[in-house]
Amino acid sequence: MSSGQGHVRGVLAPWGEGFREKLLSRGYSWGSAAHQVHLMAHFSGWLGESELSPGQVDRAAIAAFLRTRRSEGYVKLLSGRAMAPMIEHLRDLGVVPPEAPPPLAPAEALLGEFAQYLFDERGLAQDSVRSYVGVARRFLAHMGSDEFAGLSAGAVAGFVRDECARRGIGSAKTTVTGARAWLRFLHRTARTRMSLAPAVPSVANWSLAGLPRAIGTTELTRLLRSCDRRTAVGRRDFAIVTVCSRLGLRAGEVAGLELADIEWRRGELVIGGKGARRDRLPLPADVGEAIAAWLKRGRPSGVDTAAVFVRLRAPHGPLASTGVSAVVRRASVRAGLEPIGAHRLRHTAATRMLQAGGNLIEVGQVLGHERLLTTAVYAKVNRSALAEVAQPWPAR
């Protein structure tokens, strides 16, 4: 075998040192990077012994290599997940061919078509698409078929009743909305003769009956102080809690923030809202200071993503919306509060704006609400705001 840089020899030798550098740039420790490079060296030797070129690497070849690795007594890095960083690196360089997608079952192909319809024609956000596709998948499992010629209104109503019986109000309403979107899609694509969306029963619920569950000033102070700003994790978490509690952003909007969305000179943030909406919000000084501290003294340098908030464990990458909520939840536990998610901070931001003298229209604009009725629920936490939506008592 020909010698190469680092520990990698053989057919993968030219890319061994570049792989090590990429791992280190993505936050891997020297020890973890060394284990990955040793794995590449073993794979390179196996390819040579098997008389395979990098261009012949596929799922079957990877599985065969891992079987050999186990038979030789290795006890670590024995899964496809362990191979993923190396294979991803080689694919990015064009050394290993892209993985051919496995053939989709008819039901999965149909769900993929539904997701594309929601993205392209309905303009829904990714979280909404994921939720609606989940409803459609449960619908298919309930019906036990992907044939819809004999689908009836009674069968649709039965599915919705069974699903909603074991869910809370919020989850049940999402199920109903997703089911209607799914049935409209089936009719639009000529899979049903008529739209069965009207057969979906509504969820019994008093509009605006609930009270927004904001947290108080004392609890918010404890939440912020639970973030140790002497550490990178603490600076990131403090910035996330500050953004959520001051601007009322959704977890997905925080996760979607990119460096170019912060217009420092104009003092504005560009927010990607639901669907294709792009809104501008003022950047308060305390929010800007928290984000700047994270970017200067927390966010890893050289991260290959434009996201503002990233994971600090390797491999570095953007936080998902679930990661943003997890940050808030961990901070609440550290502060000795009940576990709360990012949406509670959205309620908190709205309540504080009203208490500071803002009106419902202004709060709705900050929260990105399309209808005043959506914002009207916050009127119940403030008497002056409640007066804005109260009707005058009719004269005798």
**Residue 172 and residue 247: Cα distance in Å, rounded?**
28
The answer to whether the beta carbons of residues 79 and 115 sit under 8 Å apart is no
Look at the chain and count its residues. 396
Query: Of 229, 346, 347, 352, which residue is the catalytic one?
Result: 346
Residue 38 annotated in active site = no
Strand partners, 272: 278
Q: Between the CA of residue 372 and those of 102, 375, 378, 388, what are the distances in Å?
A: 47, 5, 10, 11
Strand partners, 36: none
Residue 378 annotated in active site = yes
Residue 117 annotated in active site = no
Alpha helices of the chain — where are they, by DSSP H?
16-25, 30-49, 59-71, 80-92, 106-120, 126-143, 153-165, 169-188, 217-225, 232-247, 251-255, 285-297, 321-334, 342-355, 360-367, 372-375, 383-389
Helix H or strand E encompassing 281: strand 278-282
- Using the CB atoms, write b or e for 260-272: b if 16+ within 10 Å: ebbeeeeeebebb
Residue 280 annotated in active site = no
Residue 74 annotated in active site = no
Query: Of 42, 250, 344, 352, which residue is the catalytic one?
Result: 250
Query: Of 91, 138, 274, 329, which residue is the catalytic one?
Result: 274
Residue 70 annotated in active site = no
Q: Is the peptide bond before 315 cis (omega within 30 degrees of 0)?
A: yes
Residues tagged active-site: 250, 274, 343, 346, 369, 378
